[in-house]
Every structure is written in C-alpha cells, then in structure tokens.
C-alpha cells in the first residue's frame, strides 16, 4: 500500500497565531477547541490535517472501539464492565488521527444510534457509534462549521465541554467517552456563527492571506515542491517536525505541574472586565490558555507574555459588539494591566 505523506506542519509558512492556537489545544485538550476564521486558501485545512503527525501514539485498550485509556480517564461501558469483573485491560498503541465531520452529517451520524427494538425485546443496549465515538482521544475537524445546523454544533460543543457523549431515545440512554481536540474552520463571508456558539469555542483566530510578497512566493515554492515529491519534501522537514513534536510533549508534561498564581488570576479578571466580556468562561479560558502557553515556552509560572498571547486568542471573539459592527478591541488597556 502506497504511503500517504501529509504536508508537514513545520513547513507551513507564516500563520503563527493559527499554529500557536492549534498547538496550545493539543497541549491542553481540555481548553475547549479552536475556531479558525478566514478566507479560503490560507492553510486552515492543511494545518489541521498536519497536526496529528506531531502527537505521540495513544496507549489504548486493545480492541476498544472508543480507544479508552488503560489507566485513568472515563471508560466506556464495555471496558468498565471488564474492570468491574477484575479483568486486566490489554493494551495496544494507536496513532492519533484527524476525524472529519461532513457538513451534511445528521444527528444520528454524529452522536450514534440506539437500537430501541433490541432494548425492548432483549433488554440489551445495542449502540451504533457515531463520529463522536471515532473522535474520542483524537482531533475532530469540522470544516465550514458555520454551515452546520445549530443543534449539531450544540452536540459537538457539549461533548467537547463534558468529555462524554450521551444519547437518549425513548427513555433509554447510553454514554461513552468523547474527549477530543475540536477544531472548526469557517469563511465568515458564507455566514456567521450565533454568538452563543461562538463563545463556546475556547480560542478563535482571524486568518488572512500573507501580505508580504516574499512570504507568498515561499508558500508557492513549498507547495509545488510538496506536489513534485511528497516523500522528499517530508524528509526535508523531518528534523523540524521532530523538534516541534518533542517541544509539545515536554509542554504536556510541564503543564501538569503548573499552578496559576493569584496575581495572574486577578489580572485575567481585570482584562476580561476591561474588554467588556460577558460571563466567566473567558476568565477560565484565559488562565488555562496562559498556562499552556507558559508550558510551551518552558516556563514554571505564568508571565505577562503568556497572558498577552492568551488574551489575543481567547477574548477577541467574546468582546460585546453591536449588530453589523466590527469588533474593536482596546489592546492598549490590556497592556496597561499587564505592565
């Protein structure tokens, strides 16, 4: 079978804020996902599909259709039953992958379906897994998320927030783990997300084509080189890919020991208030993003640069705005708070 070579993440020219947002979400998958908003042809899909190659293989329960972790975390019903019976869970390694959700996906296709007839006649819960089951402990990619029906987006965001997908039919329910890195992409010219849904994405990045002629030319050179010889091109960036993967792995380890100080939490609250952001989700996301950024930068505590980077990613799409008006963020006030 011919090997497929995905365009390397390390070979993407520019788009630093987009790449950073994606990396922070894999460092801390509990952040709540990232929304990439921008015109077509700006490497959004390329970056998402390349992300999985930077992550180490998963330790999973052998044969589990949800890829449950052998130790720790929420187990599916089958794995939980084995543990309750005193059975040891056999392990296997599986690569991380990007699971894509089509725009025309139905609720049953996304969440899965329960066989009501089997439940009534046989007294057994028969569940046909959906896309959320395949996405557990992987990356769930939703292109043109703004074109999805609102109730489908609600299902995705609820699962991303809770880490569990629950399906209920005729008084019968079934739940399975559904913890994933959610990435949505969209072109604002094709329609916007409702503000309530937009707020549920932890981070958001506005993406534009490169404005520097030299950078644009480099985009073309690299893409043509990749198309001429994907294997050779991938080899050229193998060292940079390995270095980036190692940096992410170290950040994941470091994050577990990082605790935000009171000063950082106070500054996060002041920033949200100053920018007029509603609710408390922004404050929590701001601190969690700053922690992930500090871990990525190799720091043992949150610094002003971490809060600054986190604010740009976590708050711009949450600032209150009037209908038909562009969002204007007073970043000067943020700098005064961080000073």
Neighbours of 244 (CB within 10 A): 18
Report the length, in residues, of the chain: 339
223: annotated active-site residue: no
d(CA 223, CA 7) in angstroms, rounded, equals 9
d(CA 240, CA 157) in angstroms, rounded, equals 33
d(CA 201, CA 182) in angstroms, rounded, equals 9
d(CA 80, CA 94) in angstroms, rounded, equals 20
Inter-residue contact 55 to 89 (CB < 8 Å): no
CA angle 48, 54, 59 (to 5 degrees): 110
d(CA 139, CA 97) in angstroms, rounded, equals 6
Phi-psi region at 35: left, alpha or beta (left = phi > 0; alpha = psi -120 to 50): beta
Inter-residue contact 18 to 205 (CB < 8 Å): yes
d(CA 50, CA 315) in angstroms, rounded, equals 26
Per DSSP, 182 falls in state E
d(CA 65, CA 321) in angstroms, rounded, equals 44
The helix (H) or strand (E) run that includes residue 21 is helix 16-27
Please tell me whether residue 97 adopts helix, strand or coil conformation. coil
Ranges of H-type helices in the chain: 16-27, 44-51, 77-84, 107-111, 116-122, 131-135, 150-162, 195-198, 213-228, 230-236, 238-255, 262-274, 281-296, 304-314, 331-338
d(CA 240, CA 246) in angstroms, rounded, equals 10
CA angle 67, 259, 301 (to 5 degrees): 115
| Residue tagged active-site, from 281, 299, 308, 321 | 281
Which residues belong to the active site?
Answer: 281
């Amino acid at each position: 079978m011919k090997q497929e070579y995905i365009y390397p993440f390390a070979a993407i020219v520019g788009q630093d804020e987009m790449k950073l947002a994606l990396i922070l979400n894999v460092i801390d998958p509990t952040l709540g996902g990232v929304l990439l908003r921008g015109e077509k042809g700006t490497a959004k899909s390329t970056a998402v599909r390349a992300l999985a190659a930077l992550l180490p293989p998963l330790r999973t329960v052998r044969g589990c259709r949800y890829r449950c972790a052998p130790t720790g975390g929420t187990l599916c019903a089958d794995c939980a039953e084995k543990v309750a019976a005193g059975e040891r869970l056999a392990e296997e390694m599986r690569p991380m992958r990007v699971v894509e959700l089509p725009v025309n996906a139905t609720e049953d296709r996304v969440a899965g379906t329960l066989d009501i007839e089997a439940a009534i006649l046989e007294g057994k819960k028969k569940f046909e897994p959906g896309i959320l089951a395949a996405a557990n402990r992987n990356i769930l990619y939703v292109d043109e998320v703004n074109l999805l029906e609102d109730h489908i987006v609600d299902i995705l965001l609820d699962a991303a927030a809770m880490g569990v997908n629950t399906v209920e039919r005729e008084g019968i329910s079934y739940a399975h783990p559904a913890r994933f890195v959610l990435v949505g992409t969209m072109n604002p010219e094709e329609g916007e997300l409702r503000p309530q849904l937009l707020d549920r994405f932890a981070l958001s990045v506005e993406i534009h084509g490169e404005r520097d002629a030299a950078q644009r030319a480099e985009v073309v050179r690299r893409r043509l080189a990749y198309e001429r010889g994907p294997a050779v091109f991938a080899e050229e960036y193998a060292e940079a890919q390995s270095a980036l993967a190692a940096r992410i792995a170290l950040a994941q380890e470091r994050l577990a020991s990082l605790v935000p100080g009171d000063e950082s939490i106070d500054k996060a609250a002041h920033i949200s208030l100053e920018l007029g952001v509603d609710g408390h989700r922004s404050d929590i996301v701001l601190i969690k993003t700053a922690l992930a950024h500090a871990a990525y930068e190799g720091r043992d505590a949150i610094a002003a640069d971490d809060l600054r980077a986190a604010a740009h990613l976590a708050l711009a799409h949450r600032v209150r705005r009037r209908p038909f008006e562009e969002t204007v963020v007073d970043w000067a006030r943020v700098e005064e708070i961080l000073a």
